[in-house]
Amino acid sequence: MLTTKVFNDGIDDLKLAFPELEMTKKRAQLWYRFLSQLTDAEWEEKIGNCIKHCIKRAPLIADILDEEGFYDKIQLKQPKKV
């Protein structure tokens, strides 16, 4: 189970990486309710993946959960040189 300290540290990292992320106390409680089944290690890995790959907007709970395994399948392609 995700400890509150590790959860809060991850939220701090997300807020640094995504300044537009508005994390109110109520929103943090909601996030924790849906994400608390993760282990500390899983949470840290998922936060790292989001910081690396959520490039268009601040992440949502679904991005953190990554239920479809998107980040495991993604292959970042370099543009072709002409």
Average pLDDT across each block of 10 residues of the chain; the chain has 82 residues. List them in order: 97 95 95 94 93 86 73 48 58
Instruction: Read off φ and ψ for residue 23, nearest 5 degrees.
Output: -110, 95
Name residues whose C-beta falls within 8 Å of residue 43's C-beta, 6 or more positions apart in sequence: 2, 6, 7, 10, 35, 64
pLDDT of residue 56: 82
Please state the pTM of the whole predicted model.
Answer: 0.77
Measured distance CA(63)–CA(53) in Å, rounded: 10
* CB within 8 Å of 66: residues ≥ 6 apart: 46, 49, 72
Q: Where are the domains of the chain?
A: 4-73
- pLDDT of res. 4: 97
